[in-house]
Chain A
């Protein structure tokens, strides 16, 4: 598997941040949400950003998506500075943002439609991706007729249909129940094996980060700084039973210590990838 993985590795989707700081708010309410983040993420890597609520991890994600501007530093994807939003940098939010007035198929076909593709062509693409997330049979439903887990699957499909270099995910499974969340994590890894793209996944759930990531970036409370990078050694494909491994427990303890030391301050309201 790992051999095929290498072959699968894309050549686009490298993220480089160089001393990136981001300020949010206006005038007297302005504050620094992210401070001095320097990190490189390789094409096809799955990286989780772990940190307490309000630490600016979603803000950093929003800046990569092009919805928030940085105040200092350089933020590049494949060497090009990030301008506005672009289909190359797809984003999935905590709660789905599917268009309620479009069927599942039309939602997924939105990106191809914006590229001016013919109706039959974009429907074919949508159905293909819906197959990948196991929702082909629900193509004609409206989003409100689906469960929370299904809605997030459609949301992921709608981003992947554009074959993005980056898949930016902002706590996408945190609103789901525990069982569905676990299934979604497995599904995400499965999709990532087949449609290899760089994934940057924001979470405050240590287990989730350890299960998914190649590497975890641990962030401090606001202003968010990079505390530590943890390489997750578990081989792929991973099954959920890795949580029982002693190494998993050790890494989890380490993450907890990092977060605990830094969360003595009162907890802050959540920030979003769109600013405040």
Chain B
């Protein structure tokens, strides 16, 4: 087992090495890509399912079937499905983030007060205006929650994928340190994973608060 001093030294060495840029940027890029696509698709599908009975009837059964499959169980198929391991890792990240975002968006859209929708229609709101002016902001606090939870699972899945099929990346670095018996580097990798996850959650919270300023005021009054 490495001592704290070993870890500190290994950490400083890693910070100085050119490897860190490569590993961190690889991981960040994968998370941005997978998570970004998951956010777009999750929010779009969530709105469709939350608003339309038909969309819900068609889309929910296959999604419910896919939901219990852990992202790790996707790895073998993902490797076969995509031409590069890069894409398969992005896919795993996508799968990890999709469901929290999707389910929270559906919940958010469904819980928008029907009276607000009725009022908006009485005031002359068209379908598209309703979506933009009422449904989206009404569901926004839930969507932000979904995005925050999704960010966590997204990192979790990426690290797993990198350990199994990666080249570069923080997960890969951590696993590689184990196989190369650089045990202090394992802990350095773990701390880095923690820091990256924490940092992205923080950014998301800030973004969420900026997007839903009224919500922050309501929370503060409670």
CB distance from B36 to the nearest CB of A (A): 24
Beta-carbon contact of B115 and A274 below 8 Å: yes
Encode contact with B along A58-92: 1 for CB under 8 Å, 0 otherwise: 00000001110000000000000000111101110
Beta-carbon contact of A99 and B134 below 8 Å: yes
B9 at the interface (CB under 8 A from A): no
Q: Name the contact of B120 in the complex, choosing from A65, A110, A144 (C-beta under 8 A).
A: A110
Point out the residues of chain B lying under 8 angstroms from A93, CB to CB: 115, 119
CA distance A162 to B129 in the complex (A): 17
Range for the number of chain B residues in contact with chain A = 20 to 34
Closest to B129 in A: A114
The DSSP consensus for interface residues of chain B is helix
CA distance A67 to B120 in the complex (A): 12
Beta-carbon contact of B134 and A91 below 8 Å: no
CB distance from A132 to the nearest CB of B (A): 17
Encode contact with A along B112-134: 1 for CB under 8 Å, 0 otherwise: 01111011111111100100011
Point out the residues of chain B lying under 8 angstroms from A86, CB to CB: 122, 124
B12 at the interface (CB under 8 A from A): no
CA distance A273 to B134 in the complex (A): 19
Beta-carbon contact of B140 and A114 below 8 Å: no
Point out the residues of chain A lying under 8 angstroms from B114, CB to CB: 274
A142 at the interface (CB under 8 A from B): yes
Beta-carbon contact of A114 and B123 below 8 Å: yes
Total A-B contacts with CB atoms under 8 angstroms apart = 72
Range for the number of chain A residues in contact with chain B = 20 to 34
B77 at the interface (CB under 8 A from A): no
CA distance A174 to B140 in the complex (A): 31
Beta-carbon contact of A84 and B121 below 8 Å: yes
Beta-carbon contact of A144 and B115 below 8 Å: no
Point out the residues of chain A lying under 8 angstroms from B120, CB to CB: 99, 110
Point out the residues of chain A lying under 8 angstroms from B212, CB to CB: 101
Beta-carbon contact of B124 and A111 below 8 Å: yes
Point out the residues of chain B lying under 8 angstroms from A99, CB to CB: 116, 120, 133-134, 137
CB distance from B123 to the nearest CB of A (A): 5
Beta-carbon contact of B137 and A159 below 8 Å: no
CB distance from A143 to the nearest CB of B (A): 8
Q: Which of B116, B120, B122, B125 has the most CB of A within 10 A?
A: B122
CA distance A101 to B211 in the complex (A): 10
CA distance A114 to B121 in the complex (A): 10
Q: List 20 A-B contacts (CB under 8 A).
A: A67-B118, A85-B121, A85-B122, A87-B123, A91-B122, A95-B115, A97-B115, A97-B119, A99-B116, A99-B134, A99-B137, A100-B215, A100-B218, A110-B123, A110-B125, A110-B133, A114-B123, A144-B214, A162-B123, A274-B114
Q: Which residues of A contact B (CB under 8 A)?
A: 65-67, 84-87, 89-91, 93, 95, 97, 99-102, 110-111, 114-115, 142, 144-145, 158-159, 162, 273-274
